[in-house]
Structure formats: C-alpha cells, structure tokens
Amino acid sequence: MLTSLDWLALLHPVLAVLFIYPVAGTVVRLGILSREHRTGYNPKLPATVRTEHWEHGRWLTSAVVLAVLIALGYTFIAKGVPSAGQALLLGLAWLGSLLALLALWRVRRPALRAGFALLTWAGLLTLGSQPQVWRLGDNPLQPEFWSSHYWAGMLLTGLLLYNLAARPETQRSPQMRRLHLIVNLLVTVLFAVQGITGCRDLLEIPPRATHAAAVQPAGGSSTAA
C-alpha cells in the first residue's frame, strides 16, 4: 500500500504527464500559429493567438518550476537533512524560489523581470546542489553530466524563465524573436530528453518493498513476536 511519502513522490511525474507535456504541445502549436499570424501567412487567424501563446507559455514555465520544487522537496523529506538549521535554510530557499516566480508574474520593469527570473533559477540551483539530490555527475567534461535528468531539467527551467522574463523584448525586436525561436528549439529537445531520462531514473530507483526485502535477513520476519 502506498504511503503519504509515496504519493508525494508521484506528484512530480504525474504533474509532468497530466499537465506539463500537454501544455508544452499546445505552446508549440500556438507558437507556430502566432508566427503565421505575424507574417501574414494565415491572415484568417485571430489576433488573440499571440496572447494565448504567451499565456500558455507562462503557465508552462510556472508548472515546470513547481514540478522541480516538488521533486526537491520530496528528496529532502525522504532522505532527511543533517540539522534543523539546514532544514530551515532549505525551506527558506524553497519558499524564496516560489515567491520569486510569483513576483515574476507581476513585475513590468526589465531589470525586475531579469532579477526575479535569476532569483528563481538561483534558488532551484541552490536546492539542487545539496548532496541529497540525485545527479549522475557534476562535471561537464564527463558524459554522465549530459545524460543527467537533473542538469537537463535545470537548463530547461532556466530557458523557460528567460522566455517569461524577456517576453516584451521578444515582441518588439526581430532579433529577439529569432533568439526566442532558437531557444525554444532547444527547449523542445530538452523536453524529449527529460521524458527519456525521467523514465530511466525511475527504473534505476528500486521499489521500497524490494529494497526492504533485500536487506531483511533470510528466513527473518518483519513482524515482532
């Protein structure tokens, strides 16, 4: 039977399957339609398609950040932290990342948008740098780094936060729109990588019951006499 901790572990992949990937597909489709509207390729498209593309992209970015925070929070709860002081600092970093994301939704000035996007990403990186977090490798010169679900996820999150912060400049500048296109081609690739490496990592983590059976002495009983 699943415990409350098991259900918490499921939140990250469930959010990805039920919300993030469907919305990502919608964002890509709306992005194509938005470009067709702007270039006049399909003049019958409503002008609202560009707003819908932006709004869906904002929800996608927020859901990805929330999924990362859920995964990191579960890791610290499941594996524990050495001291109450560290738990407090990690909790503050977790809450700070969430508040910075919410502030990014509200601010309008370019410096504030850039600042809160960086604060959100820095908070996630700070939490993810802890030894409790599963990472295949931290050295970019090693192949394990490039096949890491964690690092690909952090790069994906950073690019999505950039999209959210740079939205007004992207609308006004052709050069920024070209950069936006390049960034989101990479984002699409990273989403595919995350789907593959996420499934791989789930297979590499043994089920709780299997692990318990493996460490139990042969012929022993888990129930006290």
Residue 55 pLDDT grade (very low, low, confident, very high; cuts 50, 70, 90): very high
Q: How far apart are CA 67 and CA 164, in angstroms?
A: 17
Which of 161, 153, 158, 192 lies closest to 145, judged by CA? 153
Classify residue 180: in a domain, yes or no: yes
- Amino acid 135: pLDDT: 87
Classify residue 210: in a domain, yes or no: no
Classify residue 216: in a domain, yes or no: no
pLDDT in tens, 57-96: 999 999 999 999 999 999 999 998 888 999 999 999 999 9
Q: How far apart are CA 105 and CA 123, in angstroms?
A: 17
Classify residue 215: in a domain, yes or no: no
- Amino acid 165: pLDDT: 96
Check whether 223 has a pLDDT greater than 60: no
Classify residue 110: in a domain, yes or no: yes
Q: Across residues 176-205, what is the average pLDDT?
A: 91
Check whether 178 has a pLDDT greater than 90: yes
Structural domain including 30 reads: 4-77+88-204
pLDDT in tens, 99-123: 999 999 999 999 999 999 999 999 9
| Amino acid identity at 38 | R
Classify residue 209: in a domain, yes or no: no
Predicted model pTM: 0.88
CB neighbours of residue 27 within 10 Å:
26
Q: Across residues 139-163, what is the average pLDDT?
A: 94
Classify residue 223: in a domain, yes or no: no
Classify residue 23: in a domain, yes or no: yes
Domains: count for the chain: 1
